[in-house]
Amino acid sequence: MSEQTLFEKYGGFSKVSKVVLAFYDTLLDSDDIGPFFDDIDMSRMVDHQTKFIASLLGDPASYTDNQSKQLHSHLDIENSHFDELKEVLSDTLESHGFGATDVEAVLQEFESRRQLIVG
């Protein structure tokens, strides 16, 4: 029997979509991060981010490294932006009942993609 992924453990897309909505509620209020989402179709963005977070949790329908790099290549994302995203993600996961060890595992997956996202 294969080990359960965090995606399965925490309820799949239903839970991930709630996490993503809360994640954006916080990000859109950020003076540094919020402007990245000006003039963005947020329903598309939420869909994209739901799939991305699902991939961090072990859902097999993940984005490739090339897709992640291409999707962010036109943005001027700096390390400070990435750090804020990571902090908001951590807080959001914790507030949605993710255990500390699981939050750390997700953050490690997120961190491993820094070079694809930061310009």
pTM, 2 dp: 0.90
Q: What structural domains and CATH numbers belong to the chain?
A: 6-117 (1.10.490.10)
Q: What is the mean predicted confidence (pLDDT) over 85-92? A: 97
For the chain, the average pLDDT equals: 92
56-87 pLDDT per residue, tens: 999 877 677 888 888 888 889 999 999 999 99
**Counting Cβ atoms within 10 Å, is residue 23 exposed (0-12), middle (13-18) or buried (19+)?**
buried
Give the pLDDT confidence score for residue 60 in this predicted structure: 77
For residue 95, which phi and psi values (nearest 5 degrees)? -70, -15
Per-residue pLDDT band for 102 (boundaries 50, 70, 90) equals very high
Per-residue pLDDT band for 15 (boundaries 50, 70, 90) equals very high
Per-residue pLDDT band for 1 (boundaries 50, 70, 90) equals low
